[in-house]
């Protein structure tokens, strides 16, 4: 609200109440961020804040719906807006990359990333990238490869990666492979 020229309060924005919806309110509360714009990420549901996985895709049937594109989009901005996984299982069907300083955060082992392909689930994990409070299910009975591949080549104080309260399950090869 701002004060008009005649001293009366006027709304800062005008919205037709017949079109007021959750997505309209969300777009007002959570517009596309600079990080999303620079990464060419267009949210599919503005009702959720930046970083929330639901902003980038709908997990219609948890554990069955392919969430790879939504997770990949969220990972592109997770250094600025941590990727927040809800307590659901998210199917991943191709390798993902966690950027430097990226943060993937769940709400415990109910926030599960489930592999649905042969190969490493996370092929790159950048310096200072972190996973907190989630599970990575490698589905080793059906697929080969490691859970997380950490490639660094550097032994210094700035190239660390962090896993806090993370369960890596059913890995056919290595849970975490350092190269």
Can you give the pLDDT at residue 19? Answer: 74
For residue 4, pLDDT over 80 is answered with no
For residue 12, pLDDT over 70 is answered with no
If one counts every other C-beta atom within 10 angstroms of the C-beta of residue 38, the result is 11
Q: Is 23 helix (H, G, I), strand (E, B) or coil?
A: helix
- pLDDT 10s digits, 16-33: 666 777 777 888 889 999
Can you give the pLDDT at residue 1? Answer: 53
For residue 11, pLDDT over 80 is answered with no
For residue 61, pLDDT over 60 is answered with yes
- Confidence category of residue 14, pLDDT binned at 50, 70, 90: low
Average pLDDT value for the chain: 87
- Percent of the chain past pLDDT 90, that is, above it, reads 56
100-123 average pLDDT score: 93
Higher pLDDT, 142 or 176: 142
- pLDDT 10s digits, 29-46: 899 999 999 999 999 999
- pLDDT 10s digits, 123-146: 888 888 999 999 999 888 888 887
Residue whose C-alpha is closest to residue 58's, from 49, 50, 67: 67
Dihedral, CA atoms, 43, 44, 47, 50, nearest 10 degrees?
-20
Can you give the pLDDT at residue 102? Answer: 95
Are 96 and 67 in contact by the 8 Å Cβ rule? The answer is no
pTM: 0.84
């Amino acid at each position: 609200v701002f004060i008009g020229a005649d001293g009366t309060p006027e709304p800062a924005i005008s919205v037709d109440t017949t079109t007021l919806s959750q997505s309209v309110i969300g777009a007002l509360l959570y517009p596309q961020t600079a990080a999303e714009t620079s990464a060419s990420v267009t949210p599919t549901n503005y009702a959720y804040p930046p970083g929330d996985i639901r902003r980038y895709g709908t997990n219609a049937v948890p554990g069955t719906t392919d969430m790879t594109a939504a997770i990949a989009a969220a990972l592109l901005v997770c250094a600025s807006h941590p990727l927040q996984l809800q307590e659901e299982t998210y199917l991943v069907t191709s390798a993902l990359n966690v950027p430097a300083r990226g943060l993937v955060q769940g709400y415990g082992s109910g926030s599960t990333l489930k592999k649905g392909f042969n190969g490493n689930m996370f092929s790159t994990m950048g310096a200072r990238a972190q996973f907190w409070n989630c599970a990575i299910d490698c589905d080793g009975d059906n697929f080969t490869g490691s859970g997380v591949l950490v490639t660094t080549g550097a032994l210094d104080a700035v190239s660390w990666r962090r896993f806090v309260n993370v369960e890596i399950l059913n890995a056919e090869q290595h849970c975490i492979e350092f190269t």
